[in-house]
Structure 1
Amino acid sequence: MTSSTQLAHGEAPASRPAKKRGNRAPAFLLTPAGIVIIALVVIPLGFMIFTSFTDFSQRTLFTGEFDFVGLKQYQSVLTDPAFYAALLRTFGFTAALVAGSVLAGMGVAQLMTKLGGVMRYLVIFVLIFAWAMPNVASSVVWKWLFQPGYGVINWLLTQLHVFGDMTNTSWIDNTWLAFLEIWLLVVWQAVPYIAITLYAATTQVDQSCIEAAQLDGCSKLRCYWQIVVPLISPSIMVITMLSIIWDFNVFNQIWLISQGGPQDTTATIGIFTYKKAFVSFEIGTGSAASVLVTIVLLALTSVYIRYLLKSGEDL
């Protein structure tokens, strides 16, 4: 049937299917981010995996020569007692950091609910300022505070007349004191984000539940632990999982304060890997250790993602 026949019978001419427009817009918008991810994540990760199967070393940097050694580097890492000591130290230090930062953040968040408007905003401003301070700057200033001879912390502890004369005490020369100094720094940096997040969650709690419990004779402390904490537990779980991932990766603070000393007793897995690759220049071995650490972090991240999916959170 021709077009003239269609018009004679009052039928509309068949129209061509409209072209889909805008289907390239998402790809166009995602391209810059994709290029950055490829440049900063995919390529370095691929190179790391590649070098973990070679004898890449300082010699390779000058001559470009290297040999494929298969799984030899992984065998070297997995048979090194220092690797397991650093891994165990990392898990213990991570647990201490997560416990300290989450509990301190919960405490600060609860205190913020008791403050007036002006004071609360002032506290939030101070917390954001502390949280936004770069790790390197914070670590350098922190090291000065604990410096023997003129450190403010040593002077204050000496004035308390409880620990004796600590003026010339070198914190980084003692394993436990060095860990304590680093622990205080990392917790101080983590508390602002945790406190503000949990404060926001606490403000969403239905106050009628707390008021009803208090009318029944429930103390404020008991109301907090038995009513508020269960209601904000999803936020606490997310914060805890994120803290585990972040604290497992702590490197700058440890390296700038103690460099893993004394005698590698504060060396976590990040310090172990860095020293292998960039101090001993066993780059292949360091890459193999980094791949193993990446696998551990992927496992931790998968737990976090599964929890978000299970709880219905929007990624």
Structure 2
Amino acid sequence: MAISTVNPGLRRAAKGPRRNLAPLWLLSPAGIVLLAVLVAPIIYLVVTSFTDYDQRTLYTGAYDSVGIANYLSLFTDPDFWWSLIRTVLFTAAMVAGSIVIGTGVSHLLTRLSTVMRYVVTIVLIFAWGMPNVASSLVWKWLFQPGYGVMNWFLTQLHVFGDMTNVDWSNNAFLSYASIWMLIVWQAVPFIALTLYAAETQIPTELKEAVRLDGASEWGVYKTITLTFLKPTLLLVTILSVIWDYNVFNQIWLVSQGGPDDATSTLGVFTFTTAFVGFHLGQGAAISVVTTLILLILTVFYIRNLIRSGEDL
């Protein structure tokens, strides 16, 4: 009888690498949690959007399938389209303001002394760490008619006249202005600190070389700094779009979508439809459409982010 002299290790190698299941076992607890808190609610949301789930269902548990009736009703509702337009425009304004101011603050941090840089960083962290519900309520108090600090300050400037009794929440433009300032104030710290961390990694010799070629400081910033910051800028932009697109707390606490639904974005429109009018099936349909729109925007930005990383 012939005895095989082939090494068992070589025999296994010939069959191919053995798959190690240890990483899958280590990731399984996190995967189960994600399925429970993310995937399952999304599935339930989609299923609910095809039903007439309403206030009666909350008490009896009874509901009927309505097919795509909720979506047809939604796409023929002018209030939905107006809220979508307001959301897109307001998101663009908030993202633009946050990115521009955050970029300026991040560059300012590179020019400050060590002590001042630490002071500004601590202030930014405190502003970023404040809960948005608490900051929204304080913000609303600042603009209250009669005793609001901002109204008093603007009156003292003698530029806008007497602003003491102006109610910002009863004016569409002023409501947007106050909410815009609040959200930009909350967003700037993260953007500024993230861009500052990226800017400190730019090789200084590249900047010096451009300066030796006669470029101004703006030329150095535009040619070198912004080029290296492009991937980070795209990253904070996509995050800002996601956050600002879903803004609800600040708008609801400051103006509750008023006056006359002038500040009713998709978040407010969804809330009032589902939890004020108790049309939960319709509210679920709005949420599904909102998520799909945001997913499309996210895919677009991620594709550009990957391309920008490959170009560097």
Q: Mark yes or no: TM-score above 0.5.
A: yes
1:278 pairs with one of 271, 275, 282: 275
Deviates more, 1:165-174 or 1:203-212: 203-212
After TM superposition, the structure 1 = structure 2 runs for residues 172-187 of structure 1, keeping only pairs within 5 Å, are 172-187=169-184
2: CA distance, partners of 1:137 / 1:35: 33
Query: 2:127 is matched with which residue?
Result: 130
1:291 pairs with one of 269, 273, 288: 288
After TM superposition, the structure 1 = structure 2 runs for residues 79-118 of structure 1, keeping only pairs within 5 Å, are 79-118=76-115
Q: How far did 1:187 drift?
A: 0.4
Query: 1:54 is matched with which residue?
Result: 51
Instruction: Work out whether 1:72 is the aligned partner of 2:64.
Output: no
Give a deviation string over 1:158-213, Cα, whole Å, max 9, x none.
11111111111111100010011110011011101111111112112232333333
Tell me if the contact between 2:144 and 2:167 (Cα under 8 Å) persists in the aligned partners: yes
Tell me if the contact between 2:252 and 2:268 (Cα under 8 Å) persists in the aligned partners: yes
Give a deviation string over 1:82-114, Cα, whole Å, max 9, x none.
000000000100110111000001110111111
Tell me if the contact between 1:242 and 1:304 (Cα under 8 Å) persists in the aligned partners: no
Query: 1:165 is matched with which residue?
Result: 162
1: CA distance, partners of 2:182 / 2:158: 24
Distance 1:237 1:192, change over 3 A: same
Please report the TM-score for the alignment, with normalisation by the length of structure 1: 0.90
After TM superposition, the structure 1 = structure 2 runs for residues 109-258 of structure 1, keeping only pairs within 5 Å, are 109-258=106-255
Q: How far did 1:35 drift?
A: 2.5
Distance 1:13 1:276, change over 3 A: closer
- In structure 2, runs of 5+ residues without a counterpart are none
Distance 1:141 1:32, change over 3 A: farther
Instruction: Work out whether 1:32 is the aligned partner of 2:29.
Output: yes
Structure 1 letter corresponding to 2:215? C
Aligned-residue RMSD, C-alpha? 2.4
Structure 2 letter corresponding to 1:132? G
Please report the TM-score for the alignment, with normalisation by the length of structure 2: 0.90
1: CA distance, partners of 2:126 / 2:28: 33
Distance 1:222 1:312, change over 3 A: closer
Tell me if the contact between 2:230 and 2:308 (Cα under 8 Å) persists in the aligned partners: no
2: CA distance, partners of 1:231 / 1:218: 17
1: CA distance, partners of 2:294 / 2:216: 41
Q: Which of structure 1's runs of 4+ aligned residues deviate more than 6 A? A: 11-18
Structure 2 letter corresponding to 1:277? A
Structure of greater Rg: 1
Structure 1 letter corresponding to 2:122? F
Query: 1:262 is matched with which residue?
Result: 259
- In structure 1, runs of 5+ residues without a counterpart are none
1: CA distance, partners of 2:124 / 2:273: 36
Distance 1:31 1:214, change over 3 A: same
Secondary structure of 1:113's aligned partner = helix
Secondary structure of 2:111's aligned partner = coil
2: CA distance, partners of 1:226 / 1:115: 22
Give a deviation string over 1:30-83, Cα, whole Å, max 9, x none.
233223222221121111111111111101111112111111100110000000
Structure 2 letter corresponding to 1:134? P
Q: How far did 1:17 drift?
A: 7.0
Secondary structure of 1:265's aligned partner = coil
Aligned pair count reads 306
Q: How far did 1:130 drift?
A: 1.2
1: CA distance, partners of 2:218 / 2:308: 28
